[in-house]
Structures are given as C-alpha cells and as structure tokens.
Amino acid sequence: MNTPLPMGLMAILQYVLSAVPLRKTQRNFLTVLLSVFLAVPGRLNVLNLSRYAACSESTIRRWLHRSDPGAIPWGAVHRATVSTAIESGLISPLCVLAIDASFHRKSGQHTAHLGSFWNGCAARTERGIEQSCCALIDVQHRQAFTVDVRQTRTGSEAPSRLEQAADQLDDVLLDLQTVPRLDLAAVVADGNYAKESMVETVTGHGLPFISRFPRNANLKYLYTGEHPRRRGRPKKFDGKVDFSDLQRFDLVSETSTERVWTQVVWSVQWAREVRAVVIQQVGKKGQVTGYAVLFSTAVTMPAHEVIALYRSRFEIELIFRDAKQFLGGQDVQLRSQPGIEAHWNVVLLTLNLCRLEALRAAEGGQNLVFSLEDMKRRAYNALLAQVILSKLDLSARFEELEHLPSSPLNFGLKAA
C-alpha cells in the first residue's frame, strides 16, 4: 500500500529527513537553509542566502565546508528522497541509473581541482570545474532523482576521470542496495563512458551496462556454423563487423525515417559478447543518412528495450539544465572541494524535493507538468507574504491565502 505524501515543500522535507539518522543541529540547518533556498531571487551564493535565511553567512559557510563526521550525509538524504517517491507510489520502482558530467565555469585561481574540461554548450574545452552526477530515472514516467554528486579531481596524484567515475558508480550501486523496493534495470551512460573499467564495475554488480559504441568499434561476428573436423581450437569468430553492410544483422523495425538492426557480437576490446543495436536514419529517398550504434552487456535484452533505456538517459540533462538555470548550480563561491560538493548537493536536493511536490500535486508522473520557474515564483510570493503578515502580527492568517479566489501566491506564474 502506498504511503500518502504530506502537502508542501517543507512538510515533504521533514518527512524525508525523518527517515535519515541526523543530529538535531544537522536537521535544523537543512530546515533553515532549504526553507528559503527556492525563494531567494538573484544569485544563490552564501552571501545572498544569508540575507534571507535565519542564520549568518559564516554559519552557512562553516556547514558547507564541513568534511568531518558531523557533516551532512547528503547521499543518505538523496536516497531517502527516492525511497519516499517509491513508497508513496509517485514513481515506479523500476529505474535505471544514469551517470554523466556537467561543466561549471569558475573564476579565481585558488579553487580546488580547477582544470580543462569539455563544455558541451560551447562545444570546446574550457577552464573550470566538472560535476559528476548519478541519477535514478523512473523507466515508466521518465522522472529523474539525483542520488550522488561529486567534483572531478585534477592533479598528478588524482586518478583518471573514468577511474573516478567507476569508483563513484561502485559506491552508489552499493548504497542503492539499501533502498527498499527499488528495482534497478541497468546502468546507462553516453559513449564517453564506454570503457572497460565502467563495464567491469557495472557487470561486477550483476547489472547490464547500456551505452554507445564509436563508429570504429572493433566488433566481430560469432561463428554459429558447424566446426570442421580437424585438430586445433574450434572456430569462434566469423569476420569483422562492418556497419555499412548489415546483411548479417536482424532487422527489428522499419519506418519511413528509421531502421533498427540488432545482433549479438564479440567485443574485441572487452573480450565479451554484447548486444549491438544499430539505428539508421533514413532519408526521403530511402538512403541512409546516418546511424548510431548502441550496446548492452545483457545479450538477451531485446533491441527495443536497449533503445528505450538508453533514451531515458536524457533526463539527467534536464537535471543539469534546471540546476544551472533556476537553482544557482553555477553560483557557488566556495573554494574547497567539500564546500563545492555541498553547494551542489543543496541545489540537487532542492530539485528532488520540488519534483516530489510536483508529482504529489499531479498525483503521479503520468500527468506531470513540471515548471521549476513557477515553483520559484510561488515560493518567493509565499516568503514575502509570510514576512509582511508577521510584521502585521497576522501570521496565523497565512493559510487563508491558499484559498482566496484571487490566488495571490500565484501572482506572476506563467502557468497560473
């Protein structure tokens, strides 16, 4: 039986925090900070937050910089948010885990792990910092919830970027085993993560890994004929895969704009069988104008399922968009790695809570129209109304604003 979710962002926050073993000081700090985080206009840095929150700038900085055992257990709070969404029936337990990186511009010379990273928006490498994010995506309704975020480390002593991503995945997959009712279908990532270390990490947890092959991938057909009676090792391969000639692939579906082919092949690089799925784009005259090659380490997975799970990965890009455009993901003015990661965790926790509130209001993900900009406007209206009513000694009448025909809390909403 699904557990009903309370109404309101702060009520949901308290409900989520009740499932996490926190100290009283940790709970109070999260409550104070998140009570105004969505409503603050302008830049969401520590100085601006202190102007609206009931705590000083030094207090917020001290909490965000903490890396001792008294620091906020952000991973546990994120997992509690996902558990709440599943137990309340707002998302399906069947999810995929997506991992991706996001570039963040950062000025200054003393920020930890500044380096040159790929900026997809500018389509070039730029100097800044990089965020590595893991998110659970509901397969049925495509609702995404962040479960872990880390800063990519640089320097001669730091592991490679992919080694850091593999370690992050390993930690997250272990932690997700504690989430009740969660049914993890696969791990999905773009082609930059299609490396042996990632494949070994994911398959080591008994999960399929779905990603994209480069066009020059070294693949071979498996030999399925009768073996000749001769001495020596039996024949295992039957030629190299050429994506310009797919006669030995099975045609799965065909439309006027797309053809889908699939075959189980041998990856020379990883020394293992994989399910390859080729998606051809077809022009008006029937000619192939382009193609993409997806793969799954689960060779029994149907081709249409590989495509559907890989395409669900795009929802993590919406997390990056909302975090940067509306929640100050790039407004961080902290230098240490714990401080930067704490700022990102506050941003993404707020986004998770907003999605929970939107799902509750829509009674599930099927009819969800999620506008974070409107939620920010309404939160600001509510904060301003609370301040005005408190000055007039009318705080008890705040709840009446929800039921007034003029809907003053919806002032300025685009979807009101």
Q: How confident is the model at residue 416 (pLDDT cuts 50, 70, 90)?
A: very low
Higher-confidence position of 396 and 282: 282
pTM reported for the whole predicted model:
0.91
Mean pLDDT of 230-258: 88
Average pLDDT over residues 254-280: 94
Report how far apart the first and last C-alpha atoms of the chain are (Å, whole number): 33
| CA–CA gap between residue 331 and residue 129 (Å, rounded) | 12
Confidence (pLDDT) at 10 = 87
| pLDDT above 90: residue 263 | yes
Query: Other CB atoms closer than 10 Å to residue 169's CB: what's the count?
Result: 26
Q: For 321-342, what is each residue's pLDDT tens digit? A: 999 998 988 888 888 999 999 9
Asked if residues 27 and 13 have their Cβ atoms less than 8 Å apart, the reply is: no
% of the chain at pLDDT higher than 70: 98
Q: CB count, 10 Å around CB of 355?
A: 25
Average predicted confidence (pLDDT) for the chain:
89
Residue 81 sits at the vertex; the CA angle it makes with 144 and 315, to the nearest 5 degrees, is 5
Kindly tell me if the per-residue pLDDT of 372 is higher than 90. no
Select from 261, 268, 331 the least CA-distant residue to 294.
261
Per the CB < 8 A criterion, the answer to whether 39 and 53 are in contact is: no
Q: Is the pLDDT of residue 261 over 80?
A: yes
Q: How far apart are CA 343 and CA 331, in angstroms?
A: 9
pLDDT tens digits, one per residue of 48-106? 899 888 889 999 999 999 988 889 999 999 999 999 999 988 899 999 999 999 999 88
- How many angstroms separate the Cα of 138 from the Cα of each of 146, 180, 308, 355? 12, 15, 12, 12
Torsion sign over Cα 174, 180, 184, 189? negative
Q: What is the per-residue pLDDT for 1?
A: 58
In Å, how far from its chain's centre is CA 63?
A: 25
Higher pLDDT, 375 or 255: 255
pLDDT at 270: 93
Structure confidence at residue 20 (pLDDT): 93
The span from the CA of 166 to the CA of 169, in Å, is 5
Range 286-313 average pLDDT: 94
Higher pLDDT, 333 or 265: 265
Each residue's pLDDT tens digit, 375-388:
888 888 888 888 88
187 falls in which pLDDT band (50, 70, 90)? very high
Mean pLDDT check: name the lowest of 171-185, 234-248, 266-280, 401-415: 401-415
In this predicted structure, what is the pLDDT of residue 400?
76
